[in-house]
Amino acid sequence: MTREIVATRPELGIADTARLFAMENMAAADAYIGCWNDKYYWQNWRPIAAIRAGDADGNPATVGDPNWKPLFDPGASELGLNFGPPLATPPFPDHPSAHSCSSSAIVHTLQNVFGTDKISFSAYSPRTRTSRSFERLSDALKEIIDARVWGGIHFRTADVQGAVLGKKVAHYLNQHYFQPAN
């Protein structure tokens, strides 16, 4: 995503492009650090565990479904998603979503650098062998959040709060680092 957006911006020279890539990578790395710190602090279970063990969660209003499988599951080959390694629910805590943390950090870094959200681009998925087009950077972030929920690997709160963490990291870095040289 980033390389296409940057490559199509004629106002960026080599130094500005290198600066932008450094900013994005630092934002994503810092967002991952915050994310993983929170994952192991909160230790939230993933939807697969929560749904399967709904009878034992202490809430009499929930019922477990021990046979429930998420879309993001090794058995998803019937959905035509068998172009890469098998899909599986990650074996670490749900909250917050690392994908949302890093994606949000990158999106907000791009918004900060270019001063706008309205940058259209397309992204290719080698897993599905399809391209998706977006009119705004934030549209891609919204779709990432939805996809992680629809795939059954995160609760929406994990994705939304991951996106908030990434945004805060990007704004902090924008205020404190990579200031233009005078």
Tokens representing residue 81 in the block: 């998603």
Neighbours of 75 (CB within 10 A): 12
Give 132 or 6, the one with higher predicted confidence: 132
Please list the residues that pair with 133 across neighbouring strands. 122
Average pLDDT score over residue span 85-114: 92
Q: Read off the CATH number of the domain in which 21 is found.
A: 1.10.606.20
Average pLDDT score over residue span 20-25: 92
C-alpha–C-alpha distance, residues 75 and 89, integer Å:
11
Within a domain: 139? yes
Q: Which of 26, 37, 75 is nearest to 174 (CA)?
A: 26
Within a domain: 182? no
- pLDDT score of 80: 54
- pLDDT score of 16: 85
Q: Which residue has the tokens 């939304």?
A: 160
Please check the confidence at residue 181 and state whether its pLDDT lies above 80.
no
- pLDDT score of 71: 83
Cα Rg of the chain (Å, integer)? 18
Q: What is the pLDDT of residues 134-151, one digit of tens each?
A: 999 999 999 999 999 998
Within a domain: 181? no
The alpha carbon torsion through 151, 1, 133, 94 (nearest 10 deg) reads 20
Within a domain: 38? yes
Contact 137, 110 (CB under 8 A): yes
- pLDDT score of 129: 84
- Residue-number span of the structural domain to which 72 is assigned: 2-176
C-alpha–C-alpha distance, residues 101 and 33, integer Å:
10
Signed CA dihedral, 12, 15, 17, 20: sign only: negative
C-alpha–C-alpha distance, residues 67 and 46, integer Å:
15
Which range scores top for mean pLDDT: 10-19, 76-85, 167-176? 167-176
Q: What is the pLDDT of residues 44-95, one digit of tens each?
A: 999 999 999 999 988 999 999 999 988 877 665 555 555 667 778 888 999 9
Verdict on whether the full-model pTM lies above 0.85 = yes
**What total of structural domains would you count in the chain?**
1
Confidence of residue 176 (pLDDT cuts 50, 70, 90): very high
C-alpha–C-alpha distance, residues 19 and 25, integer Å:
10
Average pLDDT score over residue span 14-33: 92
Which three-class secondary structure state does DSSP give residue 78? helix
Within a domain: 62? yes
C-alpha–C-alpha distance, residues 134 and 48, integer Å:
30
Average pLDDT score over residue span 113-120: 93
- pLDDT score of 155: 96
Contact 152, 48 (CB under 8 A): yes
Confidence of residue 4 (pLDDT cuts 50, 70, 90): low
